[in-house]
Structure 1
Amino acid sequence: MTATLLFCFGGPFLFSQVKAEIDTASIKIGEQIKYTISVEADSLDLVDFPEDQTFSPLEMVEALKIDTVPKDGRLLLQRMYALTQFDSGAFIIPPQRIAINEKPYLTDSFRIKVADVVVDTTKQKMFDIKPLLNVDRSRAKLWWTIFWVILGLAIIGGLVYWFFLRKKPLTEEEKIAMLPPFDRAMAQLKDLENSRYLLQDEHKKYYSELTNIVRSYLEEEVHVSALESTTDQLIDRLELLKDSGSLDLQDETIKQFKRILQTADLVKFAKSKPSNLVAEQDRTAVENIVVLTKEAIPEPTEEELMLNEEYLQEQAKKKQRKKIYIAAAVLAFLLVGGTVFSLTVYGFKKVKDSVFGYPTKELLEKEWVASTYGFPPVEIETPEVMLRTEVEFPEAIRDSIQDNNTFVHGSPLGLFSTTVSSTTYKNPQTEPQFEASLGAMLASWEAAGIRNIITKQEEFSSKSGVKGLKVFGSGQLKTPDSNSSRKIAYTVLLFGGQGFIQQIVITWEDGDTYAEQIVERVLASVDVKTTA
Structure 2
Amino acid sequence: MKRICSFSLFLSAALLGTALLHPLVGPASAQTARAYSKTDSTSVGERFDLTVVVERPVWARTVFTHPPHDSTGQVLQIADILILRTLLDTSPAASESGIDSVVYEVTTFALDTAIVGPVPVGVVATGDTLAISTDPFWIPVRSVVPGDAEDILDLMPIAEFPPAVWPWLVFLGLLIVATGAFLWWYRRSPQIVSLLRSEPEIIISPLEEATERLAALEVADLSTDESVKAFFVELSETLRTYISRRLEVPALERTSREMLDDIRDRANQDLAPPEMIEVASLVLQTSDLAKFAELFPAQVVCRQSIERVRNVLEMTEKFLTPEDEVIIDESALIPESE
* TM-score interval (norm. to shorter): 0.3 to 0.5
TM-score, structure 2 as length reference:
0.37
Which of the pair is proportionally richer in helix?
2
Query: More strand by proportion, 1 or 2?
Result: 1
